[in-house]
A and B are shown apart, each in its own frame.
Chain A
Amino acid sequence: MNPVDIAVAANESLAEFSNLLIKSAMAVYALAFVAHIVEWVFGSRSKVARTAAALTAQGAGRSGDARTAAAGKGADKVSVTVRTSGGTEVLERPRVVTRSAPGRRAGVPDGPGAAGGDERGDLYGRIAVSLTVLAFLLHFAAVLTRALSVQRAPWGNMYEFSTAFSMVVVGAYLAFLVAKKDIRWIGLPLVTTVLLDLGLAIVVFYTESDQLVPALDSYWMWIHVSLAIVCGALFYLGAVSTLLYLFRDRHEAKLEAGGRPGAFATSVLERLPSSASLDGFAYRINAAVFPFWTFTIIAGAIWAENAWGRYWGWDPKETWSFITWVGYAAYLHARATAGWKGRKAAYLALIAFLCFLFNYYGVNIFFEGLHSYGGV
């Protein structure tokens, strides 16, 4: 690669515009946050107790082992119009009956979402999502203008890393929504973290836009860092889902044992997807991201080899990437190990994500390593 051209002075007005865009995005995220709160508040009025009902039915059936959840995913496609040789006719699409493994409370239906079936709640939920889309566009524009102002990929320091990170988080969330995945329940925690992250970015990490120190100037670095951002964003979604799974699982266990959870817990947890769904979602995300995280570390090693002459040197950042990686590997193993599924595996996933976070914030701030960026 060519050396960074010093003649390219950072375009300051563009950078300022980017800052303005970030602040506007934050304002809109704040509105989305309020809308989500309203959604949850309205939703609480409807009394939902489907979990208890399902669990009681299950108890009454006393099947104990295998359970059948009628239709499942296949159900929404029961009848399909097809073209056969004769002409168009409506065929009954075969209905697939699924049967779940034991111990999973598979009969428990997913909660109705934050709005809890309340129309006004739903309206505010939609408003919140629309605001999130708007905020995302502003956020995206901010990252883009920042990139243009420095004429390079916009993740050369902690400030840029943080803004790009939360942008990808929101992007992934919206992509799931577009793909019609049931994920609106994550909206409130997501918007909250994004606000925190951006606040931290502008208050603590802010660095004027500038070029890079030579060690950071390598295309392996771009691959490494952009992948790290994407992996982190998706791991974040997995972690939120895991955390909610733990709450929801305890809630269900309590109901199953005949307990009566508090009104607030009931109101909130009943509206979330079932513990099996949350767990499944978290697993699929973590499992899908793991190979990419592996590749991220390898790309980092190749870069380190070019920059410092060794591909692995137990620098704090490398060490914590390794710890995170082994943490997620342990999680995947736990999922396949009898006696470790469920809650224990979930704790491992959370620990692994905390390691990721520590690697991202803690190591840059507390350690003197080769990875300390320009600025922070």
Chain B
Amino acid sequence: MPTADVGKALENTRAGAEEQEAGGRISTAPREDSSVDVPALGPVGWARWFWRQLTSMRVALILLFLLSLAAVPGSLIPQNGANVFAVRNFKERNGTLAEVYDRLQLFDVYSSVWFSAIYILLFVSLIGCILPRSWQFIGQLRSRPPRAPRRLTGMPAHTTWRTDAEPERVLRAARILLKGRRFRTSPTDPPGPDGSGPGGSVAAEKGYLREAGNLVFHVSLIVMLIAFAAGQLWNSEGGKLIVEGDGFSNTLVHYDDFTSGSLYDTEDLDVFGFTLEEFHASFERTGPQRGTARTFRADVSYWEGADGAEKKTSIEVNHPLKVGDSKVFLVGHGYAPVVTVTDGQGKMAYRGPVPFLPQESLGLTSTGVIKVTDYRDKDGEKEQLGFQGIFTPTYGIDAERGPHSTFPELDYPVLSLNAFHGDLGVDAGLPQNVYQLDTDKMEQFKAEDGDLFRADLRPGESVELPDGAGTLTFDRVEQWASFQVSQEPGEGWALAGATAAVLGLAGSLFIRRRRVWVRARRGADGVTVVEMAGLGRSESARLPEELGDLAFALQDDAPPAADPDGADPDGEDPAPGGDTGRSSGRDTGGSTEDVPAATEDAGPSSRGENE
């Protein structure tokens, strides 16, 4: 489409430097020198050569292609950033392959050395490309469209007709017309004292915004990248699971997990907190999508600042709570059976809701563990208890899946537990996963008949542990919701960059940059010959149309005159071979040009001799 094409076309017509000049500076795209010549020796030569290659369109294209290629493995192989568990699973299943992958950073594609290398090179290339182009463009904005080439018939679209109007009048009208259509025009070249000679001309250009749009688009890409990088460096993201009725305040110690960018300072945590008052979830009850979630809503009361008043609001899936620079998202929910454990002495050893984690979404079958650290057995010895359990909101059992939940709401809740006693290992000082039981130093309770002890409880039910070890009561069920609190600086910049990019792109792709020239001169028989030509940055069907419209509009002031007898419009080249075109001007012809392919073919070669 663009410059290079047009430029070559003009070169190939060998129609003279002027015509090349006419197509010059219509874009700031770098000229493509297809030669990859060996540079002059010396480090400077090499550096310059390297830089030229890096900032060339060809390399930009290759880097773009590589970037999309490099993004593919990240969607096929589990990524640490997205799903650590999937990565762990993968590693367990594929020993050596996983090792190779690990070495190639295939579990962290988007922060890998090779992926970063590609986009950093691309953006260096982009900056190296965009800066000179911006300067060039500013220069272009100050300049005027280049004057009409001598031979308008060499242009991609042209037209000509004869009129009785004076050349000056035609040119004046043309200028007004073009200005009226928001073309930028250069001062009119006067047609010469008697209107003969090469004729006067008007040059006009329109569509500068195309170039501006293209530059804005590319600069916005840089802005977006910087915003993205800033987000990675200064972001923070923490997760917190809260049971109904409990609260949270935004300090590091209150998070279940917390990650932040390398430059994040925990001093920057916004001061606020909230209490989960109630959680609502509803699910499809009938039809094939039975069990699919319909609504999730967390009703919370929150406060902001050191002494902020309490306010009530709800957090829903697409509607986070915004406090300061932080946003609180609702990311998960589940059930927390409330249990009471008494020890061998009959004293209460544990009471509270225990969040169970859903293992599947259609029935919310959940698993969890209860750890009782402060316990004495029936002889008063210090020991610890651990329970491993499955919670099913709507209990069901089949041969294939064993006990499981058939619906996510509390239609028939059952808590099934195994019980252990011994050492939980929590005192070792190592952080422990609250959802897992380390049974290495524990022993499972056995029932009287020698089988492993196991209890299935409905809310309100209790069970005696074997050998008078105590009781466990399943009091009731509460719900929990998990929240993600994130601070993502640079988000506004990313959005601004993206918006500018779209606008720039629209300008770049929908606006056509084009030039129009009008020339009027007096022909040999005294009748004025008007020539118009157009040149676009890219070949477009609309250029001839627009030129036709302009010519048509100009004919109000320069009505076509009758063709002189015998001037057969077909087969007249207005610049026949013998015409040197430079000094004498063209006093032949002037017929309405209506040139079929065959005649025009002769044009370039005959013109070639003029050079």
A205 at the interface (CB under 8 A from B): no
CB closest chain-A residue, reference B15: A66
A337 touching B67 by the CB < 8 A rule?
no
A20 at the interface (CB under 8 A from B): no
Interface centre among B237, B293, B317, B319 (most CB of A within 10 A): B317
| Cross-chain pair count, CB within 8 angstroms | 274
Q: B61 is contacted by which of A4, A315, A337, A355 (Cβ under 8 Å)? A: A337
Residues of B within 8 A of A179 (CB): none
B245 at the interface (CB under 8 A from A): no
Q: B294 is contacted by which of A1, A97, A213, A306 (Cβ under 8 Å)? A: A213
A94 touching B287 by the CB < 8 A rule?
no
Q: A288 is contacted by which of B60, B289, B329, B509 (Cβ under 8 Å)? A: B509
Q: B71 is contacted by which of A57, A65, A322 (Cβ under 8 Å)? A: A322
Q: A61-B601, A314-B110, A330-B61 are in contact. Are A95 and B509 (CB under 8 A)?
A: no
B82 at the interface (CB under 8 A from A): yes
B597 touching A336 by the CB < 8 A rule?
no
B237 touching A309 by the CB < 8 A rule?
yes
Q: A97 is contacted by which of B484, B502, B541, B594 (Cβ under 8 Å)? A: B594
B559 at the interface (CB under 8 A from A): yes
The tally of residues in B whose CB lies under 8 Å from a CB in A reads 99
CB closest chain-B residue, reference A294: B502
B510 at the interface (CB under 8 A from A): yes
Q: B552 is contacted by which of A66, A72, A80 (Cβ under 8 Å)? A: A80
Complex Cα spacing A51 to B209, Å? 39
Q: A217 is contacted by which of B12, B110, B317, B544 (Cβ under 8 Å)? A: B317
Residues of B within 8 A of A211 (CB): 284, 294
B1 touching A283 by the CB < 8 A rule?
yes
A201 at the interface (CB under 8 A from B): no
B65 at the interface (CB under 8 A from A): yes
B597 touching A57 by the CB < 8 A rule?
yes
CB closest chain-B residue, reference A366: B76
Interface string of B294-305 (1 = CB under 8 A from A): 111100000000
Q: B12 is contacted by which of A68, A102, A330, A336 (Cβ under 8 Å)? A: A102
Complex Cα spacing A72 to B544, Å? 8
Chain A residues proximal to chain B, CB less than 8 Å: 1, 3-4, 6, 10, 57-58, 61-63, 65-74, 77, 80, 82, 84, 91-102, 107, 207-208, 210-211, 213-215, 217-218, 220-221, 280, 283, 287-288, 290-291, 294-295, 298, 301-303, 305-316, 319-320, 322-323, 326-327, 329-330, 333-341, 348, 355, 363, 367, 374-375
8 A-B pairs, CB-CB below 8 angstroms? A3-B295, A63-B600, A66-B13, A84-B556, A294-B498, A307-B317, A330-B65, A333-B57
Chain B residues proximal to chain A, CB less than 8 Å: 1-2, 4-6, 8-9, 12-13, 29, 32, 34, 57-58, 60-61, 64-65, 67-68, 71-72, 74-75, 79, 81-82, 109-110, 153-161, 228, 237, 282, 284, 287-289, 292-297, 316-320, 327, 329, 331, 484, 486, 488, 491, 494-495, 498-499, 501-502, 505-506, 509-510, 532, 539, 541, 543-545, 547-548, 551-552, 555-556, 559-560, 592-598, 600-601, 603-605
